[in-house]
Amino acid sequence: MADISTIYMGIRLTSPIIVGASTFSRKIDNIKRAEDSGAGALVIYSLFQEQIEIERNELEDELRANEEAFPEALTYFPQMEHAGPREHIMWVEKTRKEVKFPLIASLNAISLGDWIEYAKQLENAGCDALELNLYAVETDPTVSSEDIEERQLDVVEAIVATAAIPVAVKLSPFYTSLPNFVDSVIAAGAAGVVLFNRFYQPFIDPLKEELDIRLDLSRSEDTRLPLRWIAILSEWATADFAASTGVHTAFDVARHLLAGAKAVQCVSTLYNHGLDYIGEMNLELSRWMDGKGYKNTENFRGKMSQKNLRDPYAFERAQYVKALLEYKQG
Ligand SMILES: Cc1cc2nc3c(=O)[nH]c(=O)nc-3n(C[C@H](O)[C@H](O)[C@H](O)COP(=O)(O)O)c2cc1C
């Protein structure tokens, strides 16, 4: 049977399937089940910069005192009162004792601050790597894309300087020049790049005229976006890529490895099918590899990256033009 193991940021994973950051990691039973069903690693749900800063600056008290002025800020992070950074570190320590497979801690951040030292604490809690999720919704028209990128790169550099374990950066697809920013993130010391985080998009319920804050799960088609970029970027980028968003089946895993990814992260598909589904995907992946005559993942990784395709524009605009022109008429 084919060997489905992979090396991601220098860490050997028995499977390329990583359980992405999600509420699964809020229960030890789930984490054990992920390990038992053959996940290569698991990303623990994020510690948010705001959680750390709220505790550090006693912002909460301040907000209470100013409730009149900032009522929205109090509801913005409603559960943080009960979920401080110390509890988070303790949770990571506890998790580390319960399972043996690689654990990746996640920091969700927007700007520099004292909170950076938590990278070290997460490392000391026993994590094998860190994932830095740069999730920002910039609404200030005076802030340029250059300002945002500089701010984010400062955070990457500071985290890399603080932690001795490898750091992956999880990005959104919303950069004017994604290749340029990925290049800068790698120059700042990232060992891994996770494409992409999935932005929470608020919706409006027109009947109630209220905000609808449900999270929608992804679909398999959504994986085309990270697939394109992994195929393009893995051509030259020196970091390891992990796909996130829309990885729902063993074929999706195969697609991403063919494009050049070292690993994939799954969340939505595991909410749909349960954590045991990882075992099924592993089996299907190895069956597919057997059928193709691949003994290990390196035999075919990147085989369909932009560089390795005969058509040098395969993942670029030319294909879009071709697809539109060739679509059936009526
Ligand atoms: C319920 C839920 C909780 C999540 N929590 C986090 C989180 O704490 N940190 C993070 O970086 N991403 C988080 N995500 C995003 C996922 O890690 C992942 O990037 C996204 O769901 C896309 O992958 P998918 O298509 O496999 O669902 C969460 C997603 C869901 C659905």
Whether residue 198 has its Cβ less than 6 Å from ligand 1: yes
In this predicted model, what pLDDT tens digit does every residue of 214-240 receive, in sequence order? 888 999 999 999 999 999 999 889 999
**How would residue 319 be classed by pLDDT, with cut points 50, 70 and 90?**
confident
Yes or no: say if 233 and 250 are a contact pair by the CB < 8 Å rule: no
Domain 6-326 has what CATH class?
alpha beta
pLDDT tens digits for range 135-177: 878 899 999 999 999 999 999 999 999 999 999 999 999 999 9
How many Å lie between the centroid of ligand 1 and the Cα of residue 163? 23
Please name every residue paired with 30 in a beta bridge, in sequence order, or none if there are none: none
What's the whole-number mean pLDDT along residues 300-306?
A: 95
**With 90 as the cut, is the pLDDT of residue 213 above it?**
no
Going by C-alpha positions, the residue among 111, 99, 101 that lies closest to residue 138 is: 111
pLDDT at 178 over 80: yes
What would the pLDDT profile of 58-71 be if each residue is shown by its tens digit?
A: 655 655 565 544 44
- Give yes or no for residue 81 having a pLDDT over 70: no
**DSSP secondary structure letters along 137-196:** ----TTS-HHHHHHHHHHHHHHHHHH-SS-EEEEE-S--TTHHHHHHHHHHTT-SEEEE-
Higher pLDDT, 123 or 324: 123
Other CB atoms within a 10 A radius of the CB of residue 175 amount to 18
Q: Is the CB of 244 under 6 A from ligand 1?
A: yes
Q: State pLDDT tens for residues 88-145.
A: 999 999 999 999 999 999 999 888 887 889 999 999 999 999 999 998 788 999 999 9
203-205 and 210-212 as β-strands: parallel, antiparallel, unpaired? antiparallel
Over the Cα atoms of the chain, what is R_g?
A: 21
pLDDT score for 69: 45
Mutation test residue for ligand 1: of 267, 270, 277, 278, the one with most atoms within 8 Å of CB: 267
Measured between alpha carbons, how far is 245 from 312 in angstroms, rounded to an integer?
Answer: 25
* Number of neighbours of residue 227 by Cβ within 10 angstroms: 24
Confidence tier at 31 by pLDDT (50, 70, 90): very high
- Tokens representing 128 are 């094998």
DSSP 63-74: HHHTTTT-HHHH
pTM above 0.85? yes
* Cα(310) to centroid(ligand 1), Å: 35
Domain boundaries, the chain: 6-326
Percentage of the chain with pLDDT > 90? 72
Ligand 1 in reach of 42 Cβ (< 6 A) = no
Q: What is the mean pLDDT of the chain?
A: 90
